[in-house]
Amino acid sequence: MIERLHAAIKPRLADLGLTPAEVLARDAPGGLERPGLISANRHCRLLRASDGWIALNLARQDDRDVIPALTGGPAGEPWSAIGAMIGDGPAGRFRDRAVELQLPVALLGEAAPMTLARVGALQVPRRVIDLSALWAGPLCAGLLARAGAEVVRIESVGRPDPTPLSSPALDKRINGGKRRIELDLSTAAGRSELVDLLETADAIVTSARPAALKRLGLEPGLFPHLAWVAITAHGFTGAGSGRVGFGDDCAVAGRLVSFEADQPRFLGDALADPLTGLEAARWVLAGRRGLIDVPMARIAAAYAAFLA
């Protein structure tokens, strides 16, 4: 199935001079394992409920700290308590409780596919502000840089992107062609400097939830001249707005998985991340302007539908 996925995205990369392997691969601390019921990076697991499958991602220590509130049990090894809590109960009930606690969780196939941008003549923005972190957003901005845009990457002093430490080869590949500026966005001076940069830009790439951006005084409606790329787990607007998610659980939400004996297995490594970065860039390069709402779960669903 990975080979079919490579064949699907190959023509969407041809005009950028990249191969599927260059876009879908990353390095990780301790290496990656063969994905199965546990993801390649070992943070996300597929769990069976009475009426379906759930993906729960515990990539951050903050998420592990919340597990006693989810299960009602003591702190410690989380997965046994989680399995006991799910038991024979419905998947939706567990998902809803985990969402309340802002955990990265998804039901298998819960996301609807979104339409992908057409590949045509490139409409490259002059200047792009990259305010994103991790994989999908920085990849999007990196592809725009490769297409010829000037990309200014904002390095947050207060919340640095962990990618340079966790995946240095990936960081070099997707961020190496950008001009980096450190800003302290907790200060009025830092936020003012960011606004000045946005006034001179054609596009911005974000990966934060709406509430977090609003606290910085950043809302798409305040910058109508920008192509505003909003990469989130389940949507910048609509019912999924505010939900937390990462590449592996969002791939499960989109049903972008393989199957063994009618049981789902993780496919690749956090595939919703690089696929979303690619598709967000394609929307900008197709000339889309205004708010470009690109949920990772719906991009994963679009590719799952394409491969079905």
pLDDT in tens, 44-79: 999 999 999 999 999 999 999 999 999 988 877 899
CATH number of 113-239+270-307: 3.40.50.10540
Domain definitions of the chain by residue range:
113-239+270-307
pLDDT of residue 48: 96
Tell me the sheet residues that pair with 230.
206, 293
Say how far apart CA 110 and CA 210 lie, in whole Å: 22
Residues of the chain with pLDDT under 70: none
Per the listing, tokens 């707005």 go with 241
The dihedral region occupied by 235, where left means phi > 0, alpha psi between -120 and 50, and beta the remainder, is left
H runs (alpha helix) in 148-207? 163-166, 168-175, 188-199
CB 41 within 8 A of CB 306: no
Give the pLDDT of residue 29.
Answer: 81
- Residue written as token pair 């979303």: 276
What pLDDT is attached to residue 20?
97
Report the distance separating Cα 300 and Cα 256, nearest Å: 6
| DSSP states of 100-114 | HTT--EEETT-SPP-
The residues that bridge with 259 in the sheet, in sequence order, are: 264
Residues 201-223 pLDDT 10s? 999 999 999 999 999 999 999 99
Q: What is the dihedral of CA 257, 259, 265, 269, to 10 degrees?
A: -40
Distance CA 60, CA 226 (A): 32
3-state secondary structure of 2: helix
